[in-house]
């Protein structure tokens, strides 16, 4: 008789790979799952807008102005979030409005991230005169009132989507530069950078293969915070009438359009306002969570 060895399930003893450890740490982190969850829903909403919006966000129906949302006694499922001053479906406008926020938020972050990281890494790596000049540039940038200058430039140069993105991108790189500068200073003092210099690596190579990979975690955290910052600025510009132009839906613009009606129907401003709040909150939570997981020592 052949005895069959009992089947052992020894998965408990195999140490989890660093990658899966990291993954489980990420998935068990409350603010990452909540923030990331909301953000993914919003991104999907923006991408799939034409397929999930129940109505055309631009089609007007003046006989159906300011219909109440479904939770009011007069609300119907035909327009779950009611209609706006032109009788356009509010839910559809909300779904399409996510596009403006996310597009501007991410694009402005990419531009500002590129500018800020370049300046920060150069200042941190070279130190001395370079650091002095870049620190001065950062100080100057911080003294420029962001909203005011953004309003002035957008008003004069014309308010197209791309101008809003470029203006915001060129204004909000300061945090990237400050954080990347000090992160680079820390890494630069480490032995492996000295070793790389000793074996004759070029400066460019040291920056790209020794410095940058080691400041990526901090970079991701700042990037999330700056997306949120850019989204808030876009909303404020649109609210003041100088961001996204009607009839394109944007949440900041919808709050502004509903302002005249807010004393009678508070939901008109509450719906886009709360959506903006949730979006920015989710991105901030995600950023805080990533910082907790990657650099727990910086928690407070």
Partner 1 sequence: MLIYALKRLGVALLVFVSISIIGFVLLRASGDPAIALAGEGASQQDVEYVRQHYGFNRPIYIQYVDWAKRALTGDLGDSIYLRQPVSQVIAERAPTTLLLGALSLCFALILAIPMGVLAALYPNSYIDRTALTIAVVGQALPTFFFSLLLIVIFGVWLHWLPIAGNSSWKNFIMPSIALGYYATPAIMRLTRAGMIEVLSSDYIRTARAKGLRRSTVLFKHALRNAVIPVVSLAAVQLGFMLGGSVIIESIFSLNGLGNLAWQTIRRSDFEVMQAVVLTIASFYILLTYLADLLNAFLDPRIRTS
Residues at the site binding partner 1, with contacts judged by CB under 8 A: 136, 139-140, 142-149, 151-153, 155-157, 228, 232, 235-236, 239-240, 242, 252, 255, 259, 262-263, 266, 269, 273, 276-278, 280-281, 284-285, 300
Q: What letter does residue 144 receive in the DSSP assignment? A: S
Q: Which is nearer to partner 1, 95 or 286 (CB)?
A: 286
Q: Which is nearer to partner 1, 153 or 219 (CB)?
A: 153
Structure tokens at 108: 């402005």
Q: Cis ω on the peptide bond leading into residue 247 (within 30° of 0)?
A: yes
**Rounded to an integer, what distance in angstroms lies between the CA atom of residue 185 and that of residue 183?**
5
Q: Which is nearer to partner 1, 215 or 242 (CB)?
A: 242
Distance in Å, CB of 32 to partner 1, minimum:
14
Of 156, 166, 296, 159, which is closest to residue 230 (Cα–Cα)? Answer: 166
**Rounded to an integer, what distance in angstroms lies between the CA atom of residue 215 and that of residue 227?**
18
**Rounded to an integer, what distance in angstroms lies between the CA atom of residue 134 and that of residue 178?**
10
Distance in Å, CB of 51 to partner 1, minimum:
28
Distance in Å, CB of 12 to partner 1, minimum:
32
Distance in Å, CB of 235 to partner 1, minimum:
5
Structure tokens at 115: 């500018």
**Rounded to an integer, what distance in angstroms lies between the CA atom of residue 225 and that of residue 31?**
14
Q: Identify any residues that bridge with 83 across adjacent strands, giving them in sequence order.
A: 89
Of 215, 232, 228, 224, which is closest to residue 294 (Cα–Cα)? Answer: 215
Q: Which is nearer to partner 1, 211 or 287 (CB)?
A: 287
Distance in Å, CB of 276 to partner 1, minimum:
5
Q: Which is nearer to partner 1, 44 or 144 (CB)?
A: 144
Distance in Å, CB of 16 to partner 1, minimum:
28
Q: Which is nearer to partner 1, 193 or 253 (CB)?
A: 253
Structure tokens at 58: 């631009």
């Amino acid at each position: 008789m052949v005895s069959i060895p009992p089947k052992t399930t020894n998965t408990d003893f195999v140490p989890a790979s660093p990658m899966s450890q990291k993954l489980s740490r990420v998935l068990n982190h409350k603010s990452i799952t909540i923030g990331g969850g909301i953000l993914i829903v919003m991104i999907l909403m923006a991408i799939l807008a034409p397929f999930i919006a129940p109505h055309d966000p631009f089609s007007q129906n003046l006989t159906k102005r300011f219909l109440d949302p479904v939770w009011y006694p007069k609300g119907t499922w035909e327009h779950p979030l009611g209609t706006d001053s032109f009788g356009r479906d509010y839910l559809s406008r909300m779904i399409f409005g996510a596009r403006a926020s996310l597009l501007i938020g991410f694009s402005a972050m990419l531009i500002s991230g590129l500018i800020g990281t370049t300046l920060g890494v150069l200042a941190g790596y070279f130190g001395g005169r370079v650091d002095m000049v870049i620190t001065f540039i950062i100080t100057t940038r911080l003294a420029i009132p962001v909203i005011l200058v953004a309003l002035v430039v957008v008003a004069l140069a014309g308010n197209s989507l791309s101008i809003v993105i470029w203006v915001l991108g060129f204004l909000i790189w300061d945090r990237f530069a400050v954080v990347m500068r000090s992160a680079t200073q820390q890494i630069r003092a480490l032995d492996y950078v000295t070793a790389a210099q000793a074996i004759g690596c070029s400066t460019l190579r040291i920056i790209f293969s020794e410095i940058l990979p080691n400041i990526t975690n901090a970079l991701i955290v700042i990037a999330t915070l700056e997306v949120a910052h850019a989204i808030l600025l876009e909303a404020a510009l649109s609210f003041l009438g100088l961001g996204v132009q009607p009839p394109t839906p944007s949440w900041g613009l919808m709050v502004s359009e509903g302002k005249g009606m807010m004393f009678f129907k508070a939901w008109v401003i509450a719906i886009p306002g709360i959506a903006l709040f949730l979006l920015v909150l989710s991105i901030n939570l995600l950023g805080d969570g990533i910082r907790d997981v990657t650099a727990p020592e910086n928690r407070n």
